[in-house]
Copies of this chain bind each other. A is one copy, B any other.
Amino acid sequence: MKNKAVFYHAGCPVCVSAEQSVLAALDKNRFDVEVVHLGTAKGRVSEAEKLGVKSVPALALNGQVFHINFGASLSALK
């Protein structure tokens, strides 16, 4: 079974940079990658919050959250 990577972002410049570099560098043979735009997918904000996402961009690897630099706080997306 593949590992799961979920990239939460909000379309911000810092988010785009992280997506183009960090997310692009992941091994797609081992990870299923999902990209979630929390600015448009408002229904996913609570899911992100439960995982522990405090700000975007954030990368969840098998449910473990890693905040990558700082684009916007999650509270600004509610």
Q: A residues within 8 Å of B by Cβ?
A: 3, 5, 17-18, 21-22, 25-31, 59, 61-62, 64, 66-69
How many copies, total? 2
Contact of B69 with A21 in the complex, beta carbons under 8 Å: no
Chain B residues in 8 Å Cβ range of A26:
25-27
Contact of A25 with B30 in the complex, beta carbons under 8 Å: yes
Chain B residues in 8 Å Cβ range of A3:
25
Contact of B25 with A5 in the complex, beta carbons under 8 Å: yes
A33 to B, closest residue via Cβ: B25
A5, A22, A29, A62: most-surrounded residue (chain B CB, <10 A) = A22
A54 to B, closest residue via Cβ: B69
